[in-house]
């Protein structure tokens, strides 16, 4: 284990505990820790409404706990750095969130997360907890039209948290929420591009080796390689157009479709660059006849100090647009006053 | 004469109409003992197309299962606790599948003694619950290549002797595991290794067949 010399940390083993403690100290009106590694709203919503819960490793801040708050997630269950939380922790969270209306668990398609979710849900059902899962698989780097099971869950889950949080507030049933989520899942696509590698905060190991001046389209959020291969860096506009084209090959949007477009910075790429990328991606979608009705430029899911970004595009239905744009949320990293 | 007499007494003693809690604990203890002895072999098989940690994974999972089983006094609650504890204490797919197997058995077993029909129902319940957790089919080169034929053979065995029933299961599991040598991995991450997996038995099918073999051997 090499020493980490590029980050402001203390004991590497305490990273997750300390970052969560800092987070809830900063935003006490919105979030609190219900137990170790379980982040919940400061004020729980009424129990006649479905709870929206998610899980994932730390090291991707503000994801995923940054989206806990009124109008968005009820609970986020956090694992260690880049590692899924165990079934035990998740089962504990499901017991805390237990209610007649049920729990919807949003799972990003990564084997560790899926495994923990399956185990915890199986046990939860046996003790009378009503819970359903939706699996997000927005990554398209496995190839256009690849099987859902081969597609990873990237940052496309974050707008889904907002949609589901607003819909649950409105009183939608567990089955209705599953339908809303699956409809979104079928029409969202994300593609990542990386330019400089990052290091694992606990052992200092370099994650993904990208030489200076090279980029790789399709890299995952733990630095695992995509299918696009490495190639010399091109301009922001060329990068944006290539990525929009790939996303459109997957989504097959028609002229007039209403779309979501988010540029998610993964850590070391400046907002200056993200804005420049967003500009061309938005214009390119417009040029193809689509209407971007929801745009955002933000770091929502990061990969340490990796340079690069994820481009998220989705074809939205009217209800999705309403939940995204017109409903309020006080989640620390997705605060909106709504309409 | 004396020898023959003893043999006939022994033969009578092994015709097993009822499976007790203690019999079942002996089956589990024997499975853990044999799995521990073959830990390295399972890991080496796994290293061909996976992480190379299956030996450690199944020893850890079986250890948790056996530890909980020691406290059991009744089939339903004992099997349920075994399933809960392995899933809550051990992460990974081996734990998920073993936990699902014992939880499914719990759904179809009760009391302190099981007759042949109850034993068959218990194993059928175990398989049914595993099938809810994985889409892997026979021929995909997974543990299902041992589990499915084992449970089918247990169901098909016409005997009322529980040892004979479990021997049928063990034989089918071992044959199923052996059949994976010529199969190409067709499930999960291992699928990416395709051709490279041919010529080696699947680690999970091998360890599960070891479990069924140990069950029969212990009675």
End-to-end CA distance of chain A: 51
> Are residues A226 and A291 located together in one domain of the fold?
yes
Residue B213 placed within a domain? yes
The angle formed by the CA atoms of residues A86, A88 and A89, to the nearest 5 degrees, is 75
Q: What is the pLDDT of residue A205?
A: 81
Number of domains in chain A: 2
The 10s digit of each residue's pLDDT in A8-48 is 999 999 999 999 999 999 999 999 999 999 999 999 999 99
The neighbouring-strand residues paired with A41 are: A31
> Are residues A140 and A164 located together in one domain of the fold?
yes
**B42 Cα to chain A: minimum distance (Å):** 21
> Are residues A75 and A104 located together in one domain of the fold?
yes
> Are residues A104 and A83 located together in one domain of the fold?
yes
Residue A100 placed within a domain? yes
Reported ipTM exceeds the 0.90 cut: no
Residue B12 placed within a domain? no
The segments of chain B whose pLDDT lies below 50 read 1-12
Residue B34 placed within a domain? yes
* Per-residue DSSP letter, B73: S
Q: What is the pLDDT of residue B5?
A: 41
> Are residues A91 and A147 located together in one domain of the fold?
yes
| Chain B residues inside the 8 Å CB shell of A116 | 91
Q: What is the pLDDT of residue A207?
A: 74
Residue B15 placed within a domain? no
**Does B88 sit within 8 Å of A123, measured CB to CB?**
yes
**Does B103 sit within 8 Å of A126, measured CB to CB?**
yes
d(CA B61, CA B54): 10
> Are residues A211 and A97 located together in one domain of the fold?
no
Residue A265 placed within a domain? yes
- The whole domain housing A81 covers 12-185
Find the DSSP H helices in chain B. Answer: 2-14, 21-37, 39-49, 54-69, 75-89, 93-107, 116-133, 144-156, 162-179, 203-218
Give the count of beta carbons closer than 10 Å to the beta carbon of residue A141: 24
d(CA A178, CA A104): 8
**A122 Cα to chain B: minimum distance (Å):** 8
Last-in-domain residue among A185, A209, A244: A185
Q: Chain A residue closest to B133 (CA)?
A: A118
Last-in-domain residue among A163, A185, A207: A185
**Does B189 sit within 8 Å of A119, measured CB to CB?**
no
User: A119, A129, A150: which to substitute to probe chain B, counting the most B Cβ within 10 Å?
Assistant: A119
Closest CA relative to residue A110, chosen from A56, A38, A54: A56
Q: Output the domain CATH number for residue B50.
A: 1.25.40.340
End-to-end CA distance of chain B: 26
> Are residues A65 and A209 located together in one domain of the fold?
no
Residue A85 placed within a domain? yes
Give the DSSP H/E element, type plus range, for residue A103: strand A103-108
Give the count of beta carbons closer than 10 Å to the beta carbon of residue B163: 18
- The whole domain housing B105 covers 20-218
**Does A87 sit within 8 Å of B88, measured CB to CB?**
yes
Q: Output the domain CATH number for residue A290.
A: 3.30.1180.20
**Residues A67 and A264: beta-carbon distance below 8 Å:** no
**Torsion angles phi and psi, residue A221, rounded to 5:** -85, 10
The angle formed by the CA atoms of residues A64, A69 and A74, to the nearest 5 degrees, is 75
Residue B56 placed within a domain? yes
**Does B88 sit within 8 Å of A115, measured CB to CB?**
no
**Residues A75 and A99: beta-carbon distance below 8 Å:** no
Residue A256 placed within a domain? yes
SS3 state of residue A6:
coil
Residue A283 has pLDDT above 90, yes or no: yes
Q: What is the pLDDT of residue B135?
A: 85
| Chain B residues inside the 8 Å CB shell of A112 | 91
> Are residues A122 and A223 located together in one domain of the fold?
no
**Does A115 sit within 8 Å of B92, measured CB to CB?**
yes
The 10s digit of each residue's pLDDT in A163-180 is 999 999 999 999 999 999
**Residues A327 and A338: beta-carbon distance below 8 Å:** yes
> Are residues A245 and A106 located together in one domain of the fold?
no
The 10s digit of each residue's pLDDT in B123-154 is 999 999 999 888 899 999 999 999 999 999 99
**A145 Cα to chain B: minimum distance (Å):** 18
* Per-residue DSSP letter, A68: B
Number of domains in chain B: 1
Q: Output the domain CATH number for residue A24.
A: 3.40.50.10440
The 10s digit of each residue's pLDDT in A125-166 is 999 999 999 999 999 998 888 899 889 999 999 999 999 999
d(CA A297, CA B127): 49
Facing B96 at nearest CB: one of A88, A91, A119: A119
> Are residues A230 and A162 located together in one domain of the fold?
no
Active site residues of A: 60, 222
> What secondary structure, in 3-state letters, does B156-193 show?
HCCCCCHHHHHHHHHHHHHHHHHHHHHCCCCCHHHHHH
The 10s digit of each residue's pLDDT in A66-119 is 999 999 999 999 999 988 998 999 999 999 999 999 999 999 999 889 989 998
**Residues B68 and B95: beta-carbon distance below 8 Å:** no
Last-in-domain residue among A117, A150, A185: A185
Q: What is the pLDDT of residue B7?
A: 47
Residue B2 placed within a domain? no
Residue B137 placed within a domain? yes
Residue A325 placed within a domain? no
Residue B214 placed within a domain? yes
Q: What is the pLDDT of residue B134?
A: 85
């Amino acid at each position: 284990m090499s020493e980490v010399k590029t980050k402001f940390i203390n004991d590497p083993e305490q990273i997750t505990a300390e970052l969560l403690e800092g987070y809830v100290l900063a935003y006490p009106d919105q979030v609190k820790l219900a137990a170790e590694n379980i982040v919940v709203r400061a004020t729980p919503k009424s129990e006649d409404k479905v709870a929206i819960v998610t899980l994932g490793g730390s090291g991707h801040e503000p994801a995923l706990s940054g989206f806990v708050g009124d109008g968005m997630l009820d609970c986020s269950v956090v694992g260690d750095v880049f590692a899924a939380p165990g079934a035990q922790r998740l089962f504990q969270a499901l017991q805390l969130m237990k209610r007649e209306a049920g729990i919807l668990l949003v799972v990003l398609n990564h084997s560790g997360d899926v495994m923990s979710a399956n185990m915890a849900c199986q046990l939860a059902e046996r003790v009378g907890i009503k819970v359903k899962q939706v699996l997000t698989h927005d990554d398209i780097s496995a190839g256009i039209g690849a099987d859902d099971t081969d597609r990873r869950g990237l940052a496309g889950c974050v707008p889904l948290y907002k949609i589901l949080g607003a819909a649950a507030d409105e009183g939608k049933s567990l089955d209705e929420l599953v339908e809303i989520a699956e409809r979104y899942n079928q029409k969202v696509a994300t593609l990542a591009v990386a330019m400089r590698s990052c290091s694992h905060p606990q052992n200092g190991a370099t994650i993904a080796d990208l030489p200076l001046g090279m980029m790789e389209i399709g890299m995952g959020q733990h630095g695992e390689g995509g299918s696009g291969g490495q190639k010399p860096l091109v301009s922001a506009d060329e990068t944006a157009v290539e990525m929009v084209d790939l996303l459109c090959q997957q989504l097959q949007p028609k002229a007039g479709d209403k779309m979501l477009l988010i540029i998610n910075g993964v850590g070391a790429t400046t907002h200056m660059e993200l804005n420049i990328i967003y500009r061309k991606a938005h214009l390119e979608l417009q040029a193809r006849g689509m209407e971007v009705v929801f745009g955002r430029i933000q770091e929502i899911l990061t990969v340490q100090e990796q340079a690069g970004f994820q481009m998220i595009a989705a074809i939205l239905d009217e209800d999705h647009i309403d939940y995204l744009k017109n409903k309020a949320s006080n989640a620390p990293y997705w605060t909106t006053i709504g309409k | 004469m004396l020898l023959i007499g003893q043999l006939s007494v022994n033969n009578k003693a092994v015709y097993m109409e009822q499976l007790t809690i203690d019999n079942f604990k002996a089956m589990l203890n024997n499975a853990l003992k044999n799995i521990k002895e073959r830990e390295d072999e399972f890991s080496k098989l796994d290293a061909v197309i996976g992480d190379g940690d299956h030996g450690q994974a199944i020893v850890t999972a079986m250890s948790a299962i056996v530890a909980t089983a020691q406290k059991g006094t009744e089939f339903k609650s004992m099997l349920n606790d075994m399933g809960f504890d392995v899933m809550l204490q051990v992460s990974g797919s081996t734990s998920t599948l073993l936990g699902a197997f014992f939880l499914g058995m719990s759904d179809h077993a009760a009391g302190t003694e099981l007759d042949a029909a109850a034993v068959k129902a218990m194993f059928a319940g175990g398989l049914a619950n595993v099938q809810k957790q994985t889409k892997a089919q026979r021929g995909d080169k997974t543990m299902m290549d041992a589990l499915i034929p084992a449970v089918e053979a247990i169901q098909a065995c016409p005997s009322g002797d529980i040892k004979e029933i479990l021997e049928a299961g063990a034989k089918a599991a071992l044959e199923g595991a052996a059949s994976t040598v010529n199969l190409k991995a067709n499930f999960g991450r291992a699928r990416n290794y395709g051709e490279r997996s041919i010529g080696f038995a699947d680690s999970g099918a091998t360890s599960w067949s070891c479990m069924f073999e140990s069950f029969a051997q212990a009675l």
